[in-house]
Structures are given as C-alpha cells and as structure tokens.
Amino acid sequence: MSETIRQKMFAEMAKKEIFELAKTCAIEYADKALERNVFPHDQAIAQLRQFEEPLPDTSSDAVAVIEHLHNYGSPASVSQIGGRYFGLVNGGVIPVSLAARWLSDFWDQNTPLYLSSPIASKLEEIVEDWLRDLLGLPQNVVAGFVSGSSMAIFCGLAAARYRVYQNLGWDVNQKGLNGAPEIRVITSQHAHATVIKAISLLGLGIDSIEWVAVDNQGRIQCENIPTLDQNCIVLLQAGNVNSGTFDDFESICEQANVAGAWVHIDGAFGLWAAACKDLEYLTSGIEKANSWSVDGHKTLNTPYDNGVVLCNDREALVQALHATGSYIVYSDHRDGMLYTPEMSRRARVIELWATMKYLGKSGISDLVSGLHERAQQFADELSQANFEILNDIVFNQILVKVGDADETAAIVNHIQQSGECWVGAAQWFEQTVIRVSVCSWATTEVDVTRSVNAFVGARNAQ
C-alpha cells in the first residue's frame, strides 16, 4: 500500500466525516422505512445501473463512495425493517441490537479464541447460559454462534453424525465415509430445504432419507415413524416453514431416547415459542432432543447473521468441528471456535446479547406473543374479506388460497409491486398458495389492515 493512501485513510479515521455521513444516511433511511414502499419502485431499480462501472484505477473519495451507496443503494433496498414485510420468515431489527452492531463493527473483533477477543468470549458464555434458561434446556447444553440456521443445522447434524458413528465403532474424522456403516436419517416430508442441504453436505445422502408422512397441518405423523435404533438421526420441526406448526416432541423424543437415536430440532423461528408463556406448550418435550438450531434474526429480531446451534453433547460438537494448528492457543476460558466451523468469525454474539438484555424474559415473551396476535388478526381479516385460510394459526404463519397457480402468481406480483406489503408464494400439498410470515416487532394492527387491503386490491385488479 502506498504511503499516500495510508495517510489518506489515517486522515479519514481522524476526521470521522465519513462515519458521520454514514450515520446521517442511516438515520434518514430509518426515518422513511416505516412508510416507504416495501419493495423498491421501478425508478430505484433502474438507478442500480449507477453501480455498473469498471473497477477504478485509483483510490476514490471516501465521502463520494458513501454518498453513491446511499443515493442509489438505499432506494433499491427492500424495507424489511418496517412493519409490512411478510416474506421469507425474516424479522425486523430491534433498535438496540442495531446500535450494538454498529459499536461492535468498530471493534471489528475476530472471535475464534478468548485471546483474540475476551469480550466476545465472555458474552458467548453469558448468552449460552441465558439461552439454556430461556428455552428450558439442560445445563449440559453448549451453544455455537454461527451465521444462520442453515449453518446451525449443519453443525447439529455434524455432531449427530460424529456421535452415531462413534457409537457404531467408526471414527468418521479419521476414516471418512468410505466404507462407513449405514446411518439412517428420518425426517418429515415437509422438512425445510436447509435440512436437506445439510444432509447433502455431510454426505449422508438425500436418497437414503426415510421420509415420514405429515398430517394436513404439516406435522409429522408419529404413528408412521419407522422403528428407530442407534443408527438413526431423527429431524423434527419447531415451526413448519409454511404452516408454522410444531411436531410432537414429547412422543417422538421418547421413542428416540429409548432406541438410542439422535434427535435434532430445526427451530429456526419456532424454538423461540419456548420463551413465551402463552405459547410454550408448542415446544413441550424439546429438552429431550440432542441438538437444536435457532435463528436470532427471525423471531427475536436481531440483525442478520445470528444463528445458534445448541447441543447436549459437547464432545460430539467439538470433535465434529475441530481444528488444530500450532498457532491456535486454547485457554481456560470459552474459545468459541470449538463450537463452530469457522475460525475467523465476527462477534455476532454482541447484538444477540444486547437484544436479550434489552428485552429481558418478559419482553421476549411479549415479542413472541405479539407476532402470534398479529398473525391471528391477519388471518381473521383475510377470512372476513372472503380469502380462504388453509392452516391453523398456531404461531406466526398464514397460508392463503386465492385460486390456481396463475391467479396466485398474478396477485402476489400485484401486491409486491404495489409496495404496500411484501408476501411470497409457496407450495402446500401441491397447491400454490400465498404465504404470510409475521415476524417483525414493528408490525402494528394498522399495518395488518393496510396489508389486507392490498390483498383485496390485488384480487379486484384481476
């Protein structure tokens, strides 16, 4: 790096002009987020051409870079932090968690080891304990803080694979999969795509999955679960991604425990129901599983990149994700890389800690129950407007039938392009439906009614 550019960056750090500008732009964006179009308008999309250029030959002006990003990037973003985004089970963002992320971005901590970030190590230790308490999990459960539920599921199944093979006398770390004993993977016909991806990545084989039928709400049918043994990994759902329904953890975990099978619960958004006094019945029996995956950015409304894997077999998790090197110096404190695949990791736990500390148990319970209340309101008002609701509203998901696939696609497109709200389409028992996911703390009763009116307007426009 030339000395000229180095001195330029030292000056920018000292003047702080670009940071003040970024703060101004961010606050301006936040001020408009609640009322602006949820999906960007056509002009904003067209203006994305402003980013099409060759990589500059020389250093650019820092202020100009931030202004360019704000002027053409902000209008072309989807307003997920407002109250009328109902797609992809994406939460909003609680202000304190966003502020904590800003601060931690300046810290720019790398968190594999205690020695690389004592603050991250301590907060991971604290949040691990808080999660056990909040979700009602055993004291031997450990947590790994990863990018999202996709990676959390991968880690949970990696631990499962290690333990099942160990029980069968096979060291998968040393011997690999070639010639390994057969592992049986049992899951529902409605397993989430991230579960299937993790099974594929771990070499367990999609074709080897023993699929179990589901009922009309998407719950796994307990009576159709095959006979389990110690070769089995059983995958359950706390929150079907379409209907929001929960599997029967009590019954299935009892069967698995007796057989010596491993149970992983995919609880990306639904596991947080365990923290809600009105909805905790949905997660009864989860403590009998072996591993769990959950996402902070969904129900808890942290910023993105806040997944958590939880596991009651520390040795299995650590051995599955192990790393060695002469430069890796473990400590007597928590070394976070033992519980995650990554070595270089940003300190994502900081905004998770800030969110949980800010809300407390009662605040988290209220947040979760509030999402359920708004989902129930959404379903009720859609029904009153003569839309057909296909699922029981057990949590935060609503499935709406509006006609055949072409009509559904047209209505979804009209709603999205209107900017009033954002919903997506899904497949539900071979029907094309509209899926509504109520996940943001910012969603109000008015937002729901306004969004229902967008449904009506889209139907009338056909």
| Cβ(154)–Cβ(324) below 8 Å | no
**Architecture of the structural domain at 361-460:** Alpha-Beta Complex (3.90)
Q: State the amino acid at position 316 in one-letter form.
A: A
Q: How far apart are CA 240 and CA 437, in angstroms?
A: 11
Give the SS3 label for residue 178: coil
pLDDT score of 1: 67
Q: How far apart are CA 328 and CA 320, in angstroms?
A: 17
Q: How far apart are CA 273 and CA 364, in angstroms?
A: 10
Per-residue pLDDT tens over the stretch 353-363:
999 999 999 99
Task: Classify domain 100-356 at the CATH class level.
Answer: alpha beta
* Spans in the chain with pLDDT lower than 70: 1
Six token digits for residue 5: 């550019």
Is the pTM here over 0.75, yes or no? yes
Closest CA to 282 of 294, 297, 267: 267
What are the residue ranges of helices labelled H in 34-111?
42-46, 62-73, 95-107
Per-residue pLDDT tens over the stretch 342-351:
999 999 999 9
| Cβ(374)–Cβ(391) below 8 Å | no
Terminal C-alpha separation, the chain: 59
- The domain ranges of the chain are 3-79, 100-356, 361-460
Average per-residue pLDDT for the chain: 96
Q: Which residues contact 194 (CB under 8 A, 6 or more apart)?
A: 149, 150, 153, 266, 268
Closest CA to 362 of 277, 443, 300, 279: 277
| Cβ(168)–Cβ(230) below 8 Å | yes
Give the SS3 label for residue 211: strand
pLDDT score of 120: 98
